[in-house]
Chain A
């Protein structure tokens, strides 16, 4: 089963078309394994991207170097999945 330990969800706010272009370039870097939950389209729309743990350093460096603003929305995706799983198991054990 695929796990997501250390993966983070970043919400990126591009300030102009040039930054959107940079983010599109970033999305084409297949080796990073990025999962764009919301694609870079226009500066009015935020970009949400799940970054695998192994790519965090590279992605953060890229964003920092290009002065692209971002927030960490989910610190550890697996933590949230574990919570979700616990909750499902809890209700599954309820008598029907």
Chain B
């Protein structure tokens, strides 16, 4: 059962998919699995849907779009269990779920993730071949139709930030695009990466401030304060372009431009001591502190309907 699942270690894709199925089986009144598409290598793109009623607006979380960022997928597992555990016990989460559906894609790039387990632990991109190049894969966080092809992404298939031949060329990205558009009522969208301890909001492709920048900044401050209340982890926050660098074709720039105001992206622990090789004993502390920030974002979304 998911009570016996070991949350303090990393798991491969089969194990995560078993976890997803177990969670659904144990909590069928609250959780269902939806398949929003298939990866290039025909793996299902599984999304957990936490819902207590029909026709609700939604809140989206995804983890692991960069396959080597293992603590994000591991945190996603922990979030899923946390939601079913706290529903009915935590009044804030219960109320959020009375009004919103929560969607959680734990392994956003399953081909890349499987590849990190089988061939190359440091693989970041998708696994689709690039015609005319011996280099494989696209950076799915440069593949969105938001300043696509601009500065802060690469046209070279052999680089880690290769944007792909066209916006939404990657099935892993296109599946989310189609889902977001067909759902039509997502009110918050949080894409989770690691590392470097940041909470970021749009934009990455332009220095023009997002029209909701003041509110996004204040909510980021609130979320980071909540996160830091647990282990005092040092976090910075701000727009992508002012806080890290210019990055074109990024996920949350697209979601924000689709009208999802509360669009954020996380960079979880650490600051470079371990990078993408964060020891497994830090999975749960990372997830715990991040959850507090996610709750702050969800609570604000609930309290500020638009």
Report if B274 contacts A (CB, 8 A): yes
- Asked if residues B277 and A77 are in contact (CB atoms below 8 Å), the reply is yes
- Asked if residues B277 and A91 are in contact (CB atoms below 8 Å), the reply is no
Closest to A90 in B: B9
Chain B, 222-277, CB within 8 A of any chain A CB: 244-245, 271-277
Report if B6 contacts A (CB, 8 A): yes
**Complex partner residue of B275 from A39, A73, A92, CB under 8 angstroms:** A73
Closest to A48 in B: B272
Chain B, 1-60, CB within 8 A of any chain A CB: 1, 4-6, 8-12, 15
Chain A, 5-54, CB within 8 A of any chain B CB: 9, 11, 30, 35-39, 41-42, 45-46, 48, 50
Cα–Cα, bound, A29→B158 (Å): 13
Chain A interface size, as a band, is: 20 to 34
Residues on B with beta carbons closer than 8 Å to the beta carbon of A39: 245
- Asked if residues A88 and B10 are in contact (CB atoms below 8 Å), the reply is yes
Contacting chain A: which of B88-96, B118-126, B201-209? Answer: B118-126
- Asked if residues A36 and B160 are in contact (CB atoms below 8 Å), the reply is yes
- Asked if residues A4 and B274 are in contact (CB atoms below 8 Å), the reply is no
- Asked if residues A4 and B275 are in contact (CB atoms below 8 Å), the reply is no
Report if A65 contacts B (CB, 8 A): no
**Known A39-B245, A41-B245; contact A88-B277, beta-carbon cutoff 8 A:** no
Report if B169 contacts A (CB, 8 A): no
Task: Give per-residue flags for B271-285: 1 if the beta carbon is below 8 A from chain A beta carbons, else 0.
Answer: 111111101100000
- Asked if residues A2 and B120 are in contact (CB atoms below 8 Å), the reply is yes
Task: Give per-residue flags for A61-92: 1 if the beta carbon is below 8 A from chain B beta carbons, else 0.
Answer: 00000000000011001001101100110111
Residues on B with beta carbons closer than 8 Å to the beta carbon of A37: 195, 272, 275-276
Residues on B with beta carbons closer than 8 Å to the beta carbon of A50: 122, 275
For the residues of B in contact with A, the DSSP-based class is loop
Residues on A with beta carbons closer than 8 Å to the beta carbon of B245: 39, 41-42
Report if B196 contacts A (CB, 8 A): yes
Cα–Cα, bound, A35→B121 (Å): 12
Cα–Cα, bound, A42→B244 (Å): 9
Q: How far is the CB of B107 from chain A (nearest CB, A)?
A: 16
Residues on A with beta carbons closer than 8 Å to the beta carbon of B120: 1-2
Cα–Cα, bound, A2→B117 (Å): 11
Cα–Cα, bound, A87→B83 (Å): 26
**Complex partner residue of A4 from B5, B12, B122, CB under 8 angstroms:** B122
Cα–Cα, bound, A41→B244 (Å): 8
Cα–Cα, bound, A2→B9 (Å): 22
Q: List 14 A-B contacts (CB under 8 A).
A: A11-B272, A35-B122, A36-B160, A37-B195, A37-B272, A46-B271, A46-B272, A48-B275, A73-B275, A81-B121, A87-B9, A88-B9, A88-B10, A91-B6
Which B residues have a C-beta under 8 Å from some C-beta of A?
Answer: 1, 4-6, 8-12, 15, 118-122, 158, 160, 195-196, 244-245, 271-277, 279-280
- Please name the 10 residue pairs, one residue from A and one from B, whose CB atoms are nearest each other, closest first: A91-B9, A2-B120, A41-B245, A91-B6, A48-B272, A80-B277, A11-B272, A37-B275, A96-B4, A87-B280
